[in-house]
Amino acid sequence: MRLRVRRQWLLGRAIRRRRRLRPLSVRTRRIRPNDILLFMSMRNEKIRLPYFLDYYRRLGIQHFLVVDNGSDDGGAEYLAEQNDVSVWTTKASYKDSRFGMDWINWLLFRYGTGHWCLTVDPDEFLIYPHHDSRPLKALTDWLDASTIKSFSAMLLDMYPKGALCQQTYDEGTDPFEIASWFDPANYTIRKNGEYGNLWIQGGPRSRAFFHGNPEKGPALNKIPLVRWERPYAYVSSTHMLLPRSLNVVYDEHGGEKASGCLLHAKFLSTFAEKSAEELKRRQHYADSQEYMAYHSGLQDQQDFWCEESRRYEDWRQLEDLGLISKGNWA
């Protein structure tokens, strides 16, 4: 009962805060019944957008629904020119909107019902077993046939070898040509008793920025792909949602369920400038303590690469390492 009340409260917040969104270019009438949709909020991410859109179009996304939070780099205008993108803008507080999730919950409530919906940040790139040979619809069709309503993907931080500033990221290029390394282990996992989701921490951010206080490190567990229904709501980013059953993306009896990864292209040459901006704005979780740690570490020219780092090859490599799983999806 308490979680049901919580879910209703979250939906009520989202519906009320829809008034803070101003349509810039809305093409939602073009959405067809079986389209797979992508939802995102962003600020000053123009440099990432060409590759991001191209990547997800090739994967099988048919329409993008984006909230722009006061960008001044031309990103919103660029998106407004794309025929498969709908854009809303707002200058309202990102922090006061539960870090953008009120806006996203509203768009999911209004447009996502009955669709497979992928919710990601502009630096997150979904991979899943066979993604190099099977479109996203092949995965969602299998999930439908298996009566599975949600699909998990661990956030896998990618980074270059050497200082971030040594290799400049150019607009439109593949970020993983630069950020091609990751941590193959160094992860902890525990179950959230209240919501039932798994909580994963670790990786390069924990060892570089939170080595003295690893429990303060960022959460890496995400459930970005959901067969959306109107009563659903994200609780905390895409880490967990309600109803609670959607968080059970693992086999409780010791087997494996299919899962993916979100390759995280945060650590590029643009990162120092971006972290300084977000530290100044203080619009992120826990008064932007995560960005305080980033800024402090970057002053020392932190190099994320270590002897245990692995260069990314393909999804099969991640499966061998236990970071994704085919489950029953052959």
Q: How confident is the model at residue 278 (pLDDT cuts 50, 70, 90)?
A: low
Does a structural domain hold residue 173?
yes
Residue-wise pLDDT for 151-171, tens only, equals 999 999 999 999 888 889 999
Q: Which two tokens stand for residue 315?
A: 């999804």
Of how many residues is the chain composed? 330
Residue 265 has pLDDT above 70, yes or no: yes
Q: What is the pLDDT of residue 271?
A: 83
The answer to whether position 327 is within a domain reads no
Does residue 328 belong to any structural domain of this protein?
A: no
Task: Provide the percentage of residues in the chain whose pLDDT is more than 90.
Answer: 80
DSSP string, 15-49: HHHGGG-EEEE--GGG--TT--EEEEEESS-GGGH
Residue 297: the pLDDT is 55
pLDDT at 288: 47
User: What's the confidence (pLDDT) of residue 286?
Assistant: 47
pLDDT of residue 102 exceeding 80: yes
Residue 290, pLDDT score: 58
For 217, the domain range is 2-320
What residue spans of 108-162 are helical by DSSP H? 136-145
Angle at alpha carbon of residue 262, lines to 236 and 60, rounded to 5°? 105
What pLDDT was estimated at residue 251? Answer: 86
Distances, alpha carbon 192 to alpha carbons 171, 175, 199, 248, 290, in Å: 39, 33, 7, 11, 21
Q: How many domains does the chain have?
A: 1
**What is the value of pTM for the model shown?**
0.94
Whether 57 is covered by a domain: the verdict is yes
Classified as helix, coil or strand, 107 is helix
Q: Does residue 226 fall inside a structural domain?
A: yes
Q: What is the pLDDT of residue 295?
A: 60
- Say if 55 falls within a structural domain: yes
Alpha-carbon distances of 58 from 29, 237, 276, 328, rounded to whole Å: 22, 25, 33, 25
User: Is residue 325 situated within a structural domain?
Assistant: no
Confirm whether 329 is domain-assigned: no
To which residue do tokens 């999930």 refer? 143
Residue 281 has pLDDT above 90, yes or no: no
Residue type, 225: L
pLDDT in tens, 216-264: 889 999 999 999 999 999 999 999 999 999 999 998 777 789 999 999 9
pLDDT at 287: 47
Is residue 274 scored above 90 in pLDDT?
Answer: no
Confidence label for 71 from pLDDT (cuts 50, 70 and 90) = very high
Considering just the CA atoms, what is the radius of gyration of the chain in Å?
A: 19
Percent of the chain past pLDDT 70, that is, above it, reads 92
